[in-house]
Amino acid sequence: MNYIRRFFISGNIGYLFALPAIVYMVALVGYPIVSNFILSFQDVTVTTLNKASKPFAGLGNYSTLLGDGVLRTSLVNTFVFTLSCLAFQFVIGFALALFFTQKFSTAKVVRGLMMIPWMIPMTVTALMFKFIFSSNVGILNQALQACGLITQPIEWLLQPRLAMLSIIVTNIWIGIPFNMILLSTGLTTIPQEMLEAASIDGANKRQTFLKITMPMLKPVIASVLILGFIYTFKVFDLVFVMTNGGPVNSTHLLSTYSYKLSFSLFKYSQGAATANILFVILLIVSILYLRFVYDDKEMS
Amino acid sequence: MSVRKDSGRRNNVALSCLSIILFAIIMFPLYWMIVTSLKREIEIFQVPPTLFPRVFNFDSYFAQLKQGDFNMFQSFKNSLVISAAAMLISLVLAIPASYGIARFQFKGKKLFILSFLVTQMLPVSVLLTPMFILFKNAHIYNTQLSPILADATIGIPFSVLILISYFASMPKELEDASRIDGCNRFTAFLLVFLPIASPGVIVCAVFSFLYGWGDLAYGMTFLLDQKLRPITAGIFNFMGQYGTKWSYLTAFAFVTIIPVVLIFVFMQKYIISGLTSGAVKG
C-alpha cells in the first residue's frame, strides 16, 4: 500500500488520470489488432467461429489471396481511387483556398458553409450521388441528354470503369472542403508583409506564388496530402453503399473486399488477412507522417 | 481616390457573386436531394426534371411514421442514443487522460501519445472482425452497447490529442495558485483546469458525436435487429428494399443530416478549430 502511494506521488500520478482511457483502448483496439493478426493465420469460418481451438493455417490465407484476382483488383483500385481523389481534391481545394483568401464580404461565411459536404455522413453522400448517377432518373444523364451530348442514357454505376469513376467523383466532392480549409489556414499564416515586400520589389503574382507562397506552405501541403492519403485509403462506407464492389467485383477496395470476405462469405480469416494488408500499407504511411511532423516540430 | 474606392467595391461585389455561384455548384447535390424528397413520385420521373417541386409533398416524411420495420424516427432515435453514449464515454475517458499526459511527467508518456496517433489512422476493417467475435463472446452482440463501445474508440484518441494541447498550454502558476487556495490534484483538475479547457471539450464533444452519427460499419455489423440499428444502417437497408423509391430515400437522407446541419450552424467555430488543430498539429 505504501509502495503504491509512493509510486503515485510526484509525476506518476499522471498514470492515474490516463489509466482508464488506456485500459479501454488496449481492450477495444489493441487486443483486436493482435487478434486480427492471429486470425489471419488461422482458418476460421462459421463452423469454427465458436470453437475453442481453431485450426492453424500458417500463411495459407495470404497465399490464397495472392492468387485471388479480386484481391489484386481491390489493391489496384484502392491505389487508383486514393491517388486520383487526392490529386483532384487537392487542386480544387487549393484553388478555392486561394480564392477565399481574397478580401470580400462573403468570404468567411461561404468558406465556412463549404464545410458541409465533409460533415454529412458518407452513407447520405453515397445515396445522393447514386441518385445523381442513376441511369434512368439521374439528373446527370438527363442534363447530358438535354444538351445533346448523349442520345442513350449512360449506365454510370453498372459499367466497371464508369462505376469507379463515379465513386472517385463522389469522394472528391467530400474531400474538397478538407483540403480547402487546411490550406486556407496555412495561407493565413504567411505574413502579409512578406507578400507586400515582394510586390514592392517588383514580383508579379505568379512569382510571389511560386517563390513565397508555395515554399512557405510546404509543411501544410505535405500534411494535407499524407492525411488525405490515409483518410482516402481506408474509405469504406462510400463504396459499400454506392456499388458494394459491383458490378462483378470490379469496384472493390481493400476495405470493402475484406468486409465481403468476412461478413458475406464468412471467410473470417481471409477477411482478416485482407484487412491486415490494408493496415500495413496505412501503418507505413502513418509512420512517414509522424516522422515528418516530429522532424518539423524539432526544427521549430 | 473615389475611382479606386469604386473599383474596390465593384471587385467586392464581383467576388462575392462568384463565391455564391461556386457555393451553389458545390452544394447542388444536397439541394437536389432535398428538393427530390419534397416531390411526388411522378414528378421525380419527369423529363425534363423540375428544379423546384411544383407541388410540395410531405408524404415521404409522413409515410415513414407508419412503416414498422423501417421507421425513420425510430432509427433516428437509435442514432441519437448511440452517438450520445459514445460521446459521453469518449469525454469521460479522454478528459482526465489528456490532463494526465499533458501536466505530468511519467514513463511511457511518449508511447501513449504515439499509440493514440496511430489509432486515429486505423481502418475500421482491421477492427471489425475481431470486435465482432469479441462482442459475440461477451454476449453484447446485437445490443446497442456494441456500436457504442466501438464508436468511442474513434472519439477517444481524437479527444485526447486535441485536449493535450489545451491542457499543456496552461501556465504552471495556475497549478501553484490552486494549490495555495486549498485544491489537491484532483480538485485542481476539476475546478480550475477543466473549466478553462471547456472550448476544447466542446470541440471533442462535437467530433465524438459526429463520428458516431456518421458510422455505418459498426452499427450495421454489430446490430442484427433492424429496430436497434442506427439511421445510417436504416438507409442502407431501405435502399436494398426500395432501391428506386427515391422520394422516400431522399427524405430519409434529409432527416439524417438535420442534426449535422444544426450542429454545424451553432458550432461552426469549434468544428473548424477541431479540424485544423486535429489534423495539422496531429
Residue A20 in this model has a pLDDT that exceeds 60? yes
Q: What is the pLDDT of residue B31?
A: 95
User: According to the model, what pLDDT value does residue B105 have?
Assistant: 84
Over the stretch B5-55, which tens digit does the pLDDT of each residue have? 667 788 889 999 999 999 999 999 999 999 999 998 888 887 778 888 888
Greatest mean pLDDT range, A30-39, A52-61, B48-57: A30-39
**B positions 102-141 inside 8 Å of A (CB):** 103-106, 109, 112, 114-119, 121-134, 136
The reported pLDDT for the residue numbered A296 is: 58
**pLDDT > 90? residue B59:** no
Query: Which letter does DSSP use for residue B50 in this model?
Result: P
| CA–CA gap between residue B18 and residue A162 (Å, rounded) | 31
Q: What is the mean pLDDT of residues A21-38?
A: 94
Alpha-carbon distance of A7 to A15, in angstroms, equals: 10
Residues B108-139: tens digit of each pLDDT? 888 888 889 888 889 998 999 999 999 999 99
- List % helix, strand, coil for chain A (3-state, nearest 5): 75, 0, 25
d(CA B252, CA A127): 10
Give the whole-angstrom CA distance, residue A168 versus residue A82. 8
Could you tell me which residues come within 8 angstroms of residue A259 by beta carbon, excluding any fewer than 6 positions away?
Answer: A236, A240, A271, B125, B128, B217
Give start and end residues of each alpha helix (H) in A102-159.
Answer: 107-113, 116-119, 122-133, 139-146
Dig out the grid coordinates for B82 from the structure: 448511440
How many Å lie between the alpha carbon of A52 and the closest alpha carbon of chain B? Answer: 11
User: Is the complex ipTM more than 0.85?
Assistant: yes
Query: Domain B62-281 in CATH: superfamily?
Result: MetI-like (1.10.3720.10)
Closest CA to B152 of B142, B164, B144: B144
Interface of B with A in 145-204 (CB under 8 A): 149-150, 152-153, 156-157, 160, 185, 189
Nearest to A262 by CA among A31, A49, A30, A52: A49
Q: What is the pLDDT of residues A143-180, one digit of tens each?
A: 898 888 888 889 999 999 999 999 999 999 999 999 99
Cβ–Cβ gap B123/A11 under 8 Å: no
pLDDT digits (tens, 9 = 90+) for B74-88: 899 999 999 999 999
Whether A255 and B123 lie within 8 Å, measured CB to CB: yes
Cα dihedral A282→A221→B210→B148 (10° resolution): 20
Q: What pTM did the predictor assign? A: 0.90
Burial (CB < 10 A; 0-12, 13-18, 19+), residue A260, is buried
Query: Which cell goes with A67?
Result: 492468387
C-alpha pair distances (Å), B41 with each of A77, A184, B49, B248: 36, 42, 12, 9
At A253, give phi and psi (nearest 5°).
Answer: -105, 170
HSE-up (13 A, CA, CB side) for residue A189: 15
What single-letter amino acid sits at B151? D
Give per-residue pLDDT as tens, A184-239.
Answer: 989 988 888 888 888 888 888 888 888 888 999 998 999 899 989 999 999 999 99
- Residues pairing with A56 in the sheet: A42
Q: What is the pLDDT of residue A7?
A: 62
- Stretch B255-260: mean pLDDT: 93
In this prediction, residue B3 carries a pLDDT of: 54
Q: What per-residue confidence (pLDDT) applies to A295?
A: 66
pLDDT at A47: 75
pLDDT category, A1, cuts 50, 70, 90? low
pLDDT at B275 over 90: no
pLDDT (tens digit per residue) in A256-272: 999 999 999 999 999 99
pLDDT of residue B68: 55
What pLDDT is stored for residue B280 in this prediction? 41
Q: With b meaning 16 or more CB within 10 Å and e meaning fewer, what string describes A97-134?
A: bebbeeebebbeebbbbbbbbbbbbbbbbbbbbbbbbb
The total of other beta-carbon atoms located within 10 Å of residue B95's CB is 25
Distance, in Å, from the CA atom of B146 to the CA atom of B98, rounded to the nearest integer, reads 25
Which residues of chain A have a CB within 8 Å of the CB of B279?
178, 182, 223-224, 227
**With an 8 Å Cβ cutoff, are B217 and A237 in contact?**
yes
pLDDT, residue A4, reads: 63
% of residues, chain B, pLDDT over 70: 94
- CATH number belonging to domain A69-299: 1.10.3720.10
Neighbour-count burial for A144-180, b at 16+ CB within 10 Å, e otherwise: ebeeeeeeebbbbbeebebbbbbbbbbbbbbbbbbbb
For residue B181, pLDDT over 80 is answered with yes
Partnered with residue A42 across adjacent β-strands are A56
Q: Using alpha carbons only, what angle is made at residue A224 by residues A221 and A230, rounded to the nearest 5 degrees?
A: 140
Residue B280 near chain A (CB below 8 Å): yes
Mean per-residue pLDDT of chain A: 89
Q: What is the mean pLDDT of residues B248-263?
A: 92
- As a whole number, the mean pLDDT across chain B is 87
| Beta-carbon contacts of residue B21 (< 8 Å; ≥ 6 apart) | none
- What is the per-residue pLDDT for A15? 84
Separation of alpha carbons A117 and B33, rounded Å:
13
Q: How is chain B split into domains, by residue range? A: 2-57, 62-281
pLDDT at A300: 39
The residue ranges of every structural domain in chain A are 69-299
pLDDT at B154: 94
- Mutual orientation of helices A122-133 and B2-37 as an angle, nearest 10°? 80
Confidence of residue A9 (pLDDT cuts 50, 70, 90): low
Give the integer Cα–Cα distance in Å for A128 and A1.
Answer: 61
Q: What is the rounded distance in angstroms from the CA atom of residue B280 to the CA atom of residue B282? A: 5
